Amino acid sequence: MFRRILIANRGEIALRVQRTAKEMGIEVVAVFSEVDRNSLPVRYADRAYLLGPPPPAESYLRGDLILEIAQSCEVDAIHPGFGFLSENPSFAEAVRKAGIVFIGPPAAAISKMGDKISSRQVALEAGVPVIPGADGDLDPAALLKKAHEIGFPVLLKAAAGGGGKGIKIVRDEAEFDEALRFAKAEAEGAFGDGRVYLEKFLDKPRHVEIQVVADQHGNCVTYGERECSVQRRHQKLVEESPSPAVDANLRRRMEEAAKALTLKVGYEGAGTIEFMVSHGEFYFLEMNTRLQVEHAITEERFGVDLVEEQIRVAAGKKVRSPLEPRGHSIEVRINAEDPKTFFPSLGKIERLSSPGGRGVRFDSAIFRGLEVSPYYDSMLAKLIVWAEDRGRAIERMLRALAELRVAGVQTSVPAAVHVLHSEEFRSGDYDTSILEGLERPQELQVLEVAGLAAAYAKYKGSLVSEKKGTEGAKGVSPWVLRGRLEGRG
């Protein structure tokens, strides 16, 4: 087993990995940006090293500097968490070449499954159903022709990246050219890759994913499914396991497909195969070649520590067979944002009271006095509950949310409460459009621009006045700011 690992991340996930590593008797090395100097992961680590200024490009995305620190500390392995460098094949390969274990899949698997076009091809080769669409990087005329062949509405999607960016719904030919320009521009801005592909827009789809763990010996196990259809701007807000829409037969078929795809790509470690489910059929969406934010609900149902499994598998151990799942688990993401408009809420956490009691888990790295900055993701914490059945889990989550107190910034909690009380959610008969009733697009576009601009102006001013990070603030638009807050890194 490893003696010392470096965690190339920040916030809740860094602390999450630290806790498991310490329980396994492993020393942990933390890295941090200037704004995270007093963070909990830094305080709890055995060693901690400064990376640089707050902007990710100057800190948490500095793979060369992280690798230099890892070598100087003589670590055995690097855990990337999620976001930042976790799905960067170049970084994974550089770690391997340096003689350090990357706690994640091989670079080749990350590369194949990180590209939406190549991952669709791998899925087809593995016999996994995919959404009808265009599998290659076609020119505009060819994409439009394909859209007519499969029928409108269609989705234009970025070939690289994720997080809901570079996605545009096209309902008819009149919208196509403008939508294509928008999708390409957003994809280029977010990922430096303007390629897009096309898929059929599914009617009333549900977002359901399968957790997998594979080892270096050709073994792969699955841990059931997670329902992730409660989303805003393609970002998940409430997740649950099991899915109320998946019966035993559909679950079996999805798990078999997930295993086939995982083994086909030569995967190792923890990963998630995401599917869209519509009218009883499922279609491959993408593979996340890392630990998911919502992994905790799987842990609660299966009595497993997925981070421990990641570390064990990376050390060459065989993956252990899952225990029988029990009960129902729900997770709510606690984001620093206005619950009506979902634009960022920045400031200092002035008061914090976390929930507790039976079946309640609060994963966070926040504390009183923490400054919520504009540089990183808006997620402050994750609230997870477990209960014997779905009805009790919903009531337990509502009780836990009522106990939670976060003062100083707005949070997305009211939006989650609205969902949990809704007839659609309680009946289990909902899809990815469940939050549309909370948003009024035309009005919110105006509010969002104004809110982001105000937040940007406030923080740019404070950075300049403090004489810190001024260079990193130059040229950052509110839209880039939104990307930093909504994307994982």
Q: What is the pLDDT of residues 45-55, one digit of tens each?
A: 999 999 999 99
How do residues 79-95 score in pLDDT, each as one tens digit? 999 999 999 999 999 99
CA angle at 68 for the pair 90 and 22, rounded to the nearest 5°: 95
Strands 351-353 and 405-407: antiparallel
Q: What is the CATH number of domain 132-200?
A: 3.30.1490.20
User: Please, which pLDDT band fits residue 203 given cuts at 50, 70 and 90?
Assistant: confident
Of the candidates 290, 312, 333, 396, the residue annotated as catalytic is 290
pTM of the model: 0.84
User: Please, which pLDDT band fits residue 352 given cuts at 50, 70 and 90?
Assistant: very high
Q: Superfamily assignment of 206-438 in CATH?
A: ATP-grasp fold, B domain (3.30.470.20)
pLDDT at 361 over 80: yes
Residue 171, pLDDT score: 93
How do residues 392-411 score in pLDDT, each as one tens digit? 999 999 999 999 999 999 99
Residue 159, pLDDT score: 82
Assess contact for 417 and 401: CB atoms under 8 A.
yes
| Mean pLDDT of the region 358-380 | 96
Summary mean pLDDT of the chain: 89
The closest of 389, 92, 78, 137 to 244, measured between CA atoms, is 389
Percentage of the chain modeled with pLDDT above 90:
76
pLDDT at 447 over 60: no
User: Please, which pLDDT band fits residue 163 given cuts at 50, 70 and 90?
Assistant: low
290 is catalytic: yes
Domain boundaries, the chain: 4-103, 132-200, 206-438, 441-486
Of the given ranges (326-330, 342-346, 352-356), which has the lowest mean pLDDT?
Answer: 342-346
**Assigned architecture for domain 4-103:** 3-Layer(aba) Sandwich (3.40)
